[in-house]
Each structure stands twice: as C-alpha cells, then as structure tokens.
Chains A and B, each alone.
Chain A
Amino acid sequence: MNRRVPLVTENSQTYTFTRRALVLGGLQGGIAALLAGRMAWLSIAENERYKLLSESNRFQMVLIPPRRGWIVDRAGQPIAINRSDYRVDLIPDQLEQPDWIIAQLTKLLQLPPEEIQRIRTDLDRAAGYQPVPVAENLSFDKYAAVTLRLPELPGVSPTRGFSRFYPDGAAVGQLVGYVGIANKEEYEKEKNTLLITPGFKIGKDGLEKTMEHRLRGMPGAKRLEVTARGKLVRELSTVSDKPGATLPLAIDAGLQTFAARRLGDESGSVIVMDCHTGDILCMASMPSFDPNSFSDGISHNEWNMLSKDERRPLVNKALSSLYPPGSTVKPMAAMALLGAGIDPEERVYCGGGYQLGNRFFRCLGRHGSMTMHTAIARSCNTYFYSMGNRIGYDAIAVMARRLGLGEEYPLPVVSQSYGTVPDSAWKLRKYKQEWTRSDTLNAVIGQGYVLVNPLQLAVMAARIASGRNVQPILVGGREKPAQPLDMPPEHFEKVRHGMWEVVNGAGTAGRSRLPLEGIQMGGKTGTAQVRRISAGQRGQGGDWKYRDHGLFVCFAPTDNPRYAASVVIEHGMGGSRAAAPVAKDVLTWLFDKQKAMDALTALEEGWGGNIAERMKRDERRWLATQAANKAAGAGEGVA
C-alpha cells in the first residue's frame, strides 16, 4: 500500500471504534424493532387467518357414512336392504409392524395376492387415523378368528358395518342396478369426501344410480383432535348420520321374481302393468347379473363372462332393446282403422297375400274372407295390407303415438331407447325420400321402419285394455286411474274382442289360455324378423342369433281388464310359441300363485335349477372353458 496513508492516531482509532460501535448498537436496535414489528403484524393483523390455520391443523373431520335407504316393493317387501356385515380395517396410526400384521391377516382371512397389493398401496397413501379396508362381507368365523387374536394384532380393527343385499338376486338386477365404491371420475365430479370414506358405496346402475339422491342420506361426522402424525388425541363431538329414505316401488316383488324365473334360459323381458294406474308391477329382463356380487366388487372373470355373453346380461332389455313389433301392433292398427271410419264388418279376401303394383306382399296363410275381428284373431296380413293401404300410414302413426309407441317416458332409469314410429315426414327428414305404399304395408304389420321397446308394447296393451291414457309409473305407484283416452269406447271394445278371440277362440295363441275358472286373457302374438331371409326359411331355425323374435302383448281379465303385459323372447321364433306361454304363467300368478308356482317348478326341474343355481353352473362351465383354452394356448406355445 504505497499511496498516502491518512494519519491514524490512538485517539482517532478510539473515535472510530466508538462511532462504529454505536452503528452496531443502532443495527441491534433496528433489528429488534423489526422483529417486534413483524411479530405484531403476524399476531395482530394476521391473527384471524393464522388462528384458522392452527384450528384446521388441529381438527380433522371423519365422516360416518349414512345407511342407504331401502328399496321396497308396493307391499313394503324388501327389494334392496342393508345387511349387517363383518369387516376388518387397518388403522395405519396404530400399526407397528405392517408386514407382519398383513401376513397374519392373509393367513386368517385367506386374502388373495392382488388384495394384499391393494392394501399396501392404500396404506402408503392413507392418513394415519383413516381406516384402510382389508376385507368386507366376512363370515362370522373369519371375523371371530381375527377378533380372538386382536391383542396380538395392534392396528387391526374388526367392525360390524352394513352392506347392500338384494334378496331376489339376479331377478331384480336390471331393475335396481347395484352399488359400488365411487371411482375417480365420480369423486372428481362431486368432490365429496364421503365418496372416499372406506366402506361407502354409491349407486352404479339402475334405480340405485338414478335415485341416489333419495337413497344416500346424510353422513354423520366425528370431530377428532389429531397430532401432526395423525395420532388421535381425543374425539370431540359426534353428529349421527341420517339414513337415506326408503324408496317404495310400484313393482310387485313376487311377480318380478316369478317373471324372471319363468323366462328361464331365454333372453327376453316381461313387463306387467296395472292397466288403470300405469303402475309397473314387474319389469324383468333376463339373463341378468346378480347385483349382490356386483356390489361386493365383481371379479374380473365374472365381468368378462357377462360382457361376452351373446344374450347380453348387462343390458336392460325391457327399456334399452328395440325390436320390430311384428303383428303385436295389429290391434293398434285396427284402432286406427276404426278411427278412420272403416266398417269392422267389411270383408277382405285373403288369398295368401296382397298385390301392390308388381310386388306381392305375403300373408302367413290363405285365410279367405276376413273381417277386422277374424283378421286380429288369425293375424291376417292381407286384411291389414289392404286396409292400411286405404287409410295410409300417417293416420296409423298418429294412433301408434297415442297408444304409447315411440315415446320416451319420464322414468328414473339409466337409459331408455324409444325407437321409431315412422311416417312420411319422418322418412323425408331422415332419408330425404317420399313415403311409399310398400312402406305402409311393411309398417302396418310391425316390420319395416317400426321399432319399439318392450315397455312401449306394455303401455300400448294397457291403453287398449283400459281405454285410459296410462303413463308407466315405477316409483311410488297406486295413484288414481288415468284419464280416459279421447276415443269411442266401442272401438276399444271391438279390438279387445278380437284379442280375446286370439287366445280363447280360433286364434293364434289358443294354447295359452289361462288355466283359471272364469278369468280369461286377451292378447296378440307377434313374430319379428331379425333379418330378411328367403320366405322358405323365415328365421324358424338355424343359428340362434338369426332366429325370429317372439312377442306377445296381452291383458286380463277380458271382461274387466286389470292387468296388461308384454313379453318379448329374443330369437324365440314366434310369439305364440315362445312369448304367449310365458305371459300365460305370469298372468296366472297374479290370480292363483300356487298354480303358477307348480307350473314353474316343473319347468325349472327341466332347466336344471333356479336362476342362482343355473348362473353358478354357467360360471363353472365358462371358467372350465377358459382354463381349457388357456391350457391349449400354452400347449401351442410350448410346441
């Protein structure tokens, strides 16, 4: 340092020290003031906010899932209830040796490997006080085995909870749906922590899904004081849960089960309605799934089996399947003819068909001279070709809609296909083509563009049976009779008489008379082509999936109609052959349960057991086939 150094003396050094020491003293005072100010800011200005944060640190709300409301039938008989079940949970907080505990539980409860994996992942994610489910629906023996060893299993919590139970099993599967644990999308949508509470389930299909708001109830809550590690300090207050409301249906559980059983191994649906009030007494679709096994969490295998079944057990055929109605719409067409002023006694000669221009439309037989009455009874196409051609289909379409076809009903169901009632405007809109006379001829016998679902057929039957504008009712029921339709009662009388003849006279369903004294059934058969086949074959044989559908609409008793029904048997080959006998037994049940049950018991013996037994048998078969296929595949692989 060669530049000029300022003179530094002992005095000036002391002066420098004093000055600089005072600067440091000032620094100390400044920082102390800054700290005091900052602290005051935190504890006064922001006090409210931090108080709140401290409280939310300290307290945790734990929800108590509400018990789900029951679903009962019109007489209060249970359709879906809660059965107390035994379950085992883990409390992560109290768990000391998770690996050892899980190994013990695996032994006691025979847990499958994928479940063990799931428990481990859940444990990693769980907050300390939040139970992790290990197993549900345990038998009392397994539950007791865990309870006995409880002292050596810290962190294991065996409890009694509730699970959904459907006493009628598969018979109500399509109708009520099932419950299950909420998935990620459902949770994202609702953002309700209740949905991720262990053991809580929401409706996943059917009424369980659509009536979720009524069935769920209000959760209770426990306020817990917890430490930072999630250890419970104490329980502060408990608000008890409010169980969901009971949901009464218009359904008659006994009839529903009977109809489902009566369908046997066929794929189809049965709908029975009160033809005055519109109450749906039964809406069975088979084959179905067992909602009990779905609600417990269905296995991959079971799901595969159901989704690959060509009889579509996962589809509610009563609402979501569309069929050409075939001849079942002829009574409706007759109503339209009467409405258009056609004299029912006017005769049409059936020589086996009807010539329209250069095309010949076939009838099923050579019926000879036909009136409206005999044409309904013997399902003569020629009569309806001829008369339909005279009034035009637009007039018939109006009647079809008035009698309930093509309509989507305001029902609490997951999905409903409402089909097509075609007319000239519809065709122009859809195909940009003019309506032709051959379109009319096809439509008037329920083929061509016409598509309906089985519920619409039942409504049509009910409206014809009572002459009332009935609306189908699924929930509640027993309302006042519907308003009469604005049509002359004698027209209904005429058509109903034709339908009486179908079953009780010289008609197509003569073998399906009710085996009852003084109670008769009126109906109309229908056979719907699945695809156009040469007239010789007519879908009466060959591959199951190409066979004709069998349909039947009916009502009883004929002298004072009370019930109306529709039965559809997919690929049953004919209405009188497949559908009418089912309708006969189902309606018999309504008047004489014992007689109907006797008939069913005999049939079930032939089929190899009741629904549950046959489903189990099918599953075993399916698993065996799967195993065989796998073995074969593996064998090929080695070779």
Chain B
Amino acid sequence: MIGSSLVPAPIAALPWKLIFLVLAIGLFGGMTLFSAAGGSLSPWALNHFVRFVALLAVAIVLSYFQPRTFRDWAYPAYGLIIVLLIVVELIGVVGGGAQSWLDLGVFQLQPSELMKPVIVLILAGFYAGLPTGEIRKWSAIWPPALLTIVPSVMILLQPDLGTTLLLLFSALTVMFLAGLPLRLFIGGGLAVAAMIPIVYTFFMMPHQQKRVLIFLNPEDDPLGAGYHITQSKIAIGSGGLFGKGYLNGTQSHLHYLPEQHTDFIFPAMVEEWGLMGGLFLILCFALLFRWGMTVALESKDRFERLAAAGLTMTIFFYFAINLLMVMGLAPVVGIPLPLFSYGGSAMLTVMLCLGMLMSIDRNNRRERHRL
C-alpha cells in the first residue's frame, strides 16, 4: 500500500490504515492513563503500553492465518470456554463470592470476554453451513439459540449483566445478518419492550430498580448511586471545547471521577482534551468500524462475511454502550472502552477480533488478485 518499491512486500501488505487507527486509539488511551495516575507510568500506563504492543503483535500474527482456520477452531474453543466458565463458577463458590476471572499470573483472564468473538465465529460457521433454503425454518433458529443461551445464562449468574448483554447483541447481529425473517426481530423487540415493566416490577431487586431510576434521573441522588453519572457528566461538560489541558483534569486527578482508568476513562480524557479530543476518538472508532464493515461487504465467502460483520459489531457494542453510559444515555453497566481503557481481557478480545478481521481482509485482497 505504501511506497511499494521501498518497503518490503510483507510489511507493505499489512492493512496500515487500520493499524494506524488502532495505534492512535491505544496510544491516546495510554496517555490518558498516564495522566489519570497523576502523570505517572505506573500503575496503569506502562502496563497498558506493553499489553497493547504484545496483543497488537498477536493480532498481526493472527492475520496470517486463513479465515477457515477460525471456523474450524470455533467449536473446540467454545467447549473450552464453557469448561472455563464452569471452573470460574466453582472457584467463586469455593472462594465464597462472585468471581468472573482466572488468575493467569500475567493477567487475569475473564473467560466470558473470550466468548464474545467465539459465539460470532460459531454462529457464522453454523449459518455458512446451513443449506440455503433452510434459513426460514425452525432448524435455523434453535441450535444458534441454544448455543447462545447456555453461556449467556452462565455469565448472567456470575453476575455480569454487561457482558451478557454484549454476548446476546453479538449473537443477534449474526442471526440478523444471516437472513432470519425480519418479523422475528421486530416481534422480539416488541416483546422485550413489553416485558420491561413486568421485569422491573416483579423480577428486579430493589437495588436494581434504584439503578434504573437513577439512570432516568441521576441528579436525584448526586452523592449516592447517581454519583458516577453525575461526576462523569461534570467531567465531560466542564472540559468545554478544548479541555482543561493535558495533565490538568481536576475531576480525574482529585478522584471525583470513579473508575477513571476503566469504565470512565472517556470523561477523564474529554475533561483534559475537550470536545475536540472526544470527537477525534469517536472519529477514529467510526473509521475503524467502517473499515470492518467494508471488509465484510467485500468478502465473498458467507462465513467470512458473517464473521467480519459480527466481529466489527462486537467491538462496536463495547464502544456504543460505554459512551452512552458515560454521557448519561444508558444505565451504568460495567463495560470498558476497548483499546482505550485499562484492562487485559477486553483488549485481548478486541485484538482477537481485529486479528481475524485482518485475516479476512487479507483473504479478500488475495481473492481480488486472483480475479
């Protein structure tokens, strides 16, 4: 792509546009973490950079695999993750408390995170293998539904509502793109909407009801449970057009902003960089998603198409729910901003998604050459 004669072919063949976008997001994230720690590489920024470089390398290595390989690995990976989820559950029971991670020494692995790309691959593989005429039949619905519901229930029991929702969204996206009848989605959507008041009244614990109410009106309880949303909005709003300047954020440095290195890193950044910094980051992500959707649309293979779109949407859901949450447009659920927030599992998931997307992209380009 770049100066074909000067750069060796294998390096030039890398999808540089995407890599630049990912680098921009990841480095910006690292800078924000540096500032959030009060201008220090520890405890977050250095770890973030090391992890980022290592996982980006993993993603690039992954891009040299054939997309078919992922389809073949999907089922064993699915089985392995189900086993890990059970192990995590058991450790939680033995340890006497909820637990969602395994301590791998280097970092703590959340099996539920890995389930997100794997469910996309499994369902994409399933629909790619489904005979064309079967798509409107019952047999096109129940196996994917079962494959999705089993891990969803396990993750919900951890309890991790945010990850469960992302998993369901990813699975539904693949089903939607595979061509299941539209009325199923419309009908399902209406049914969920109708269920909300019933669930709220009969199935939610008081503290969960409170969370919903506070989401609807965070100013009611600025020091209690509405504190997160209120402080996040103060950080974003007080930044103005150009922000308070790098390393000058008061909301973050004086710890008024909670979880400023993970879920609430975006307001910490916007406080210092202002609307311009926020728009820049949103633009980077938007270009990343456009690249992903283009890969999907250019792909000729049905598995690759479904997988590429599903993986892009998986990353998108992280982004959308996190930002809607920090701007007070969605309830507080623990979901980080991919590549930008501190945290290994989410970054691993997203890098795996990107690696597979690059692999599909490479395959597309090979196809084009062949034509």
Whether B327 lies near A38 (C-beta < 8 A) is: yes
Interface SS, A side: helix
Number of A-B contacts (CB under 8 A): 138
Q: Which of A3-11, A206-214, A382-390 contacts B (4 or more CB under 8 A)?
A: A3-11
Whether B275 lies near A44 (C-beta < 8 A) is: yes
Residues of B within 8 A of A25 (CB): 289-290, 293
Residues of B within 8 A of A20 (CB): 176-177, 179
CB distance from A49 to the nearest CB of B (A): 7
Which residue of A10, A24, A31, A35 is within 8 Å of B293 (Cβ)? Answer: A24
Which residue of A10, A21, A47, A233 is within 8 Å of B237 (Cβ)? Answer: A47
Whether A43 lies near B241 (C-beta < 8 A) is: yes
Determine the distance from Cα of A107 to Cα of B241 in the docked complex, in whole angstroms.
Answer: 58
- B313: Cβ under 8 A from any A Cβ: yes
Q: Known: A32-B282, A226-B254. Is A39-B275 also a contact (CB below 8 A)?
A: yes
Whether A24 lies near B313 (C-beta < 8 A) is: yes
Q: Known: A17-B179, A57-B256. Is A50-B286 also a contact (CB below 8 A)?
A: no
- B262: Cβ under 8 A from any A Cβ: no
- B296: Cβ under 8 A from any A Cβ: yes
Residues of A within 8 A of B114 (CB): none
Whether A54 lies near B327 (C-beta < 8 A) is: no
Whether B254 lies near A43 (C-beta < 8 A) is: no
Whether B234 lies near A54 (C-beta < 8 A) is: yes
Whether A42 lies near B132 (C-beta < 8 A) is: no
- A51: Cβ under 8 A from any B Cβ: yes
- B218: Cβ under 8 A from any A Cβ: no
- A1: Cβ under 8 A from any B Cβ: yes
- A28: Cβ under 8 A from any B Cβ: yes
- B316: Cβ under 8 A from any A Cβ: yes
How does the 8 Å CB contact mask read for B302-314 relative to A, with 1 for contact and 0 for none? Answer: 1001100100010
Identity of the chain B residue whose Cβ is nearest the Cβ of A9 in the assembled complex: B132
Determine the distance from Cα of A17 to Cα of B132 in the docked complex, in whole angstroms.
Answer: 13
Residues of B within 8 A of A36 (CB): 278-279, 282
Whether A13 lies near B274 (C-beta < 8 A) is: no
Residues of B within 8 A of A35 (CB): 282, 320, 323-324, 327
Determine the distance from Cα of A29 to Cα of B282 in the docked complex, in whole angstroms.
Answer: 10
How does the 8 Å CB contact mask read for B253-285 relative to A, with 1 for contact and 0 for none? Answer: 011100000000000001000110011001001
CB distance from A249 to the nearest CB of B (A): 48
Interface SS, B side: helix
Which residue of B250, B255, B302, B313 is within 8 Å of A54 (Cβ)? Answer: B250
- A228: Cβ under 8 A from any B Cβ: yes
Residues of B within 8 A of A28 (CB): 286, 289-290, 293, 316, 320
Whether B293 lies near A13 (C-beta < 8 A) is: no
Whether A58 lies near B250 (C-beta < 8 A) is: yes
Which residue of B173, B177, B279, B305 is within 8 Å of A39 (Cβ)? Answer: B279
Which residue of A17, A39, A228 is within 8 Å of B236 (Cβ)? Answer: A39
Whether B305 lies near A17 (C-beta < 8 A) is: yes
Residues of A within 8 A of B313 (CB): 24
Determine the distance from Cα of A500 to Cα of B140 in the docked complex, in whole angstroms.
Answer: 126
- A239: Cβ under 8 A from any B Cβ: no
Which residue of B176, B179, B237, B297 is within 8 Å of A46 (Cβ)? Answer: B237
Determine the distance from Cα of A28 to Cα of B293 in the docked complex, in whole angstroms.
Answer: 10
Residues of A within 8 A of B111 (CB): none
Q: Which of A275-294 contact B (CB under 8 A)?
A: none
Determine the distance from Cα of A14 to Cα of B309 in the docked complex, in whole angstroms.
Answer: 13
Determine the distance from Cα of A229 to Cα of B254 in the docked complex, in whole angstroms.
Answer: 8
Residues of B within 8 A of A32 (CB): 282, 285-286, 289
- B240: Cβ under 8 A from any A Cβ: yes
Identity of the chain A residue whose Cβ is nearest the Cβ of B136 in the assembled complex: A5
Q: Known: A31-B320, A35-B324. Is A13-B329 also a contact (CB below 8 A)?
A: no
Residues of A within 8 A of B202 (CB): none
Residues of B within 8 A of A298 (CB): none
Q: Which of A309-329 contact B (CB under 8 A)?
A: none
Q: Which of B226-258 contact A (CB under 8 A)?
A: 231, 233-241, 250-251, 254-256
Determine the distance from Cα of A32 to Cα of B274 in the docked complex, in whole angstroms.
Answer: 17
Residues of B within 8 A of A51 (CB): 237-238, 240
CB distance from B318 to the nearest CB of A (A): 12
- B225: Cβ under 8 A from any A Cβ: no
Identity of the chain B residue whose Cβ is nearest the Cβ of A226 in the assembled complex: B254
- B10: Cβ under 8 A from any A Cβ: no
Determine the distance from Cα of A140 to Cα of B274 in the docked complex, in whole angstroms.
Answer: 55
Whether A44 lies near B290 (C-beta < 8 A) is: no
Q: Which of B139-198 contact A (CB under 8 A)?
A: 173, 176-179
- B3: Cβ under 8 A from any A Cβ: no
Leading 6 A-B pairs by shortest Cβ distance: A50-B237, A54-B238, A42-B237, A228-B255, A227-B254, A50-B238
Q: Could you pull out 15 A-B pairs where Cβ atoms are within 8 angstroms? A: A1-B136, A17-B179, A21-B296, A24-B176, A32-B282, A36-B282, A39-B236, A40-B275, A43-B270, A44-B275, A54-B235, A54-B237, A57-B234, A227-B255, A228-B255
